[in-house]
Structure 1
């Protein structure tokens, strides 16, 4: 007697059965360059756009200028399309656009945004990247949040087709390097300066998001923040290190209305946060659809030896384990919003290692919406956090400053070709990104 397979193959063929192409054995495996489908995973790059001041406010470190983007913006945007990418983290130069209260210069922004729209690129619009206009002074200015909110509204009104925003990039890093490490902007080295800068940046992000949502009620806010950790190799870790490992959550605690620990709360109150300000932050999350972006460089993870010296650990825990801590704390959808290494030869494998982290955390049930190699073009002087004007090029881009591809560009294309059409989560075709206005304020 013939078995059932004999009868099936006799009637239907060798296995490519009618209908199987619709998610069955012959269905699509998610490979192929991104096609822009709303439910697909977002593969992105970014154009480095930092513009803090150094030298007590006398020198503006504008990476868009130093890396030639103002002259080669059209070429750069076409490189994004050449890579096969549909998503770009893009920062408009806030300090150049917002010339005075209520006064905006859109000359460069209009050119770049029109080209982004023409190319069919989805921008994640980065509205403040480490610096403010000269007329605002620095991050210690309590009027900064209201003026920034005006700017956010003006941007949303001028480009109503934009849905994705990062209002204030890396709030914790902005405040720490400006007011605790003494490198940028106000160049303070005090706890009170740090708390003041941080609370102003978080307030600016909240108020800016409110203004964006009033224009675009389905806005998606990708809050890019550094994924940090310090390993202290001592039998009894110090109170200072324990505090540092708690402070890394502080910007997101205030932004997402998650009460910090008693130790951090006392630190805040000791260093200038008032009870009234604290209660204001704890009222609830900002509007819109919120995504917790985690930036990870091996440089974010450090080791403190028994002698007190600090060293880079480069991937002891990695993006997956550190981000899982953040996810368990906030239960927010995640995006890997920045990564790179300075060494050209190491970049392709670093890219694949980061992607393994993304695949692993997805397998563990964490919703990850996207991945970003940052940046498109090489950067300058980030080995000193822009604190020194040495003109040293960091070979961390997909392309050189001459716009020639580095090996990591081909590696990224290979990754895109293999995974470019996967969905945000498994079976994500049933869970498309909605364009309805954001409504629910809690996750149950």
Structure 2
């Protein structure tokens, strides 16, 4: 009987042995698999947390809700930033208190900002600097003020000049939520309840983001802009969909449509013109996109997704479509690199499971070829009164942080650390080990 002919693998094992071949230790078939905490390489996926910094006014402007103060950050900023470092995170969504820094045209108070930014730089943390988070200085009044874009642009430029080492920015956080809560839902700031109030707040906040980004780019022409917008959707249990909800599901795209010069539907276009946007203003938004490398951040909480029942009541649906399906709609619309920029749940005992579900959605999205560049658990610590969207001063602790307000870790901190240990060195762009965020200036991109 003839001897069995050896295959190539038998020959390799005979010559090299079972341990592997030269080069495996550098990441071959049996080499590096992406485990380990993130390095400081720009090719790393951006694992992040954020420090909650909302500061809208309520009670007709008489009360300022400042989450940095209410959650103790002003007094414990060094401790908080140390926790970010201790957890192994390299990236932090961080918002300076715009309302408290910009004292008037040409007037600024940088005392706290300099201290905090100095500590961030010392620790080697990469900040995604959040410049406007749901509120404006008292002297600007509110989002109905047409002078807001230029006042904000002055502030954005001064920040870019003062901290030239910062490259990542979120100029205006959640523009859609800002405009809706302030101009349509009557919760914050001007507290209007009208379509015109919503459209006015929307165009002013979006214009502020565009003009502010232009000022940043003057001083940092390689700026990376992480737009953070709420991923919304309302389902209807109606045999005949209602025009109101159909319009609402279109309006959720409006801030990014204006920002990215993407013509909205005819229905939304007529709505804008009916509620105070001029044709000249519309043409200005449609003229082109703002400068910088643009990343589309989508914030997803289960409470962003709602079901309207036949009796008209609203039920929080918690993950019917989920971050994956909703964000896919945004990606198909804008074709921008994606970042999951906020998520949490208020029940600390559910947080670890929620984190794992969000991470699985990200892995699936990346495997489908969508460039998801980063993930953020928001926020580092618990928050106060977000169950009422800050509308009521109940001093209720929302247990949504990686740490409680005594800076003790919640179980989700250990769950996040496990994800970091397992996936911390995956690439920022899926299937693209040779690609990284370069240091070349951003320039006009022509789509063919």
TM-score (norm 2): 0.98
Q: How many Å separate the matches in 2 of 1:317 and 1:286?
A: 31
1:345 to 346, 349, 355: 349
Q: How many Å separate the matches in 2 of 1:404 and 1:428?
A: 38
CA contact (8 A) 2:371 2:430 kept: no
**What's the counterpart of residue 421 of structure 1?**
425
Q: How many Å separate the matches in 1 of 2:295 and 2:270?
A: 28
The yes-or-no answer on 1:256 pairing with 2:263 is no
Q: Kindly state the Cα deviation for residue 9 of structure 1 after the two structures are TM-superposed.
A: 2.2
The yes-or-no answer on 1:170 pairing with 2:174 is yes
Q: How many Å separate the matches in 1 of 2:9 and 2:358?
A: 43
CA contact (8 A) 2:176 2:255 kept: yes
**What's the counterpart of residue 41 of structure 1?**
45
**What's the counterpart of residue 241 of structure 1?**
245
1:329 to 322, 329, 333: 333
Equivalent position SS for 1:259: coil
Q: How many Å separate the matches in 2 of 1:122 and 1:130?
A: 23
1:73 to 70, 77, 89: 77
Q: Kindly state the Cα deviation for residue 13 of structure 1 after the two structures are TM-superposed.
A: 1.8
Deviations 1:373-416 (A, max 9, x none): 00000000000000000000000000000000000000000010
2:286 to 282, 288, 292: 282
1:388 to 387, 392, 406: 392
Q: Kindly state the Cα deviation for residue 330 of structure 1 after the two structures are TM-superposed.
A: 0.4
Check 1:336–1:443 CA distance in 2 against 1; reply closer, same or farther (3 A cut).
farther
Q: Kindly state the Cα deviation for residue 16 of structure 1 after the two structures are TM-superposed.
A: 1.5
**What's the counterpart of residue 197 of structure 1?**
201
CA contact (8 A) 2:372 2:430 kept: no
Gaps of at least 5 residues in structure 2 are none
Q: How many Å separate the matches in 1 of 2:386 and 2:401?
A: 12
Gaps of at least 5 residues in structure 1 are none
Q: How many Å separate the matches in 2 of 1:74 and 1:48?
A: 15
What does 1:21-420 align with in structure 2 at a 5 Å threshold? 21-420=25-424
CA contact (8 A) 1:375 1:397 kept: yes
Q: How many Å separate the matches in 2 of 1:242 and 1:194?
A: 17
Number of residue pairs aligned between Structure 1 and Structure 2: 444
Q: Kindly state the Cα deviation for residue 11 of structure 1 after the two structures are TM-superposed.
A: 2.0
Q: Kindly state the Cα deviation for residue 196 of structure 1 after the two structures are TM-superposed.
A: 0.2
CA contact (8 A) 2:61 2:190 kept: yes
TM-score (norm 1): 0.99
Q: How many Å separate the matches in 1 of 2:446 and 2:96?
A: 32
Equivalent position SS for 1:167: strand
Q: How many Å separate the matches in 2 of 1:218 and 1:97?
A: 25
CA contact (8 A) 1:164 1:222 kept: yes
CA contact (8 A) 1:66 1:380 kept: yes
CA RMSD of aligned residues (A): 0.9
CA contact (8 A) 1:285 1:441 kept: no
Report runs of 4+ in structure 1 exceeding 6 Å deviation: none
CA contact (8 A) 1:168 1:205 kept: yes
Equivalent position SS for 1:290: strand
Q: Kindly state the Cα deviation for residue 36 of structure 1 after the two structures are TM-superposed.
A: 1.7
CA contact (8 A) 2:369 2:430 kept: no
Q: Kindly state the Cα deviation for residue 44 of structure 1 after the two structures are TM-superposed.
A: 0.1
Q: How many Å separate the matches in 2 of 1:269 and 1:370?
A: 36
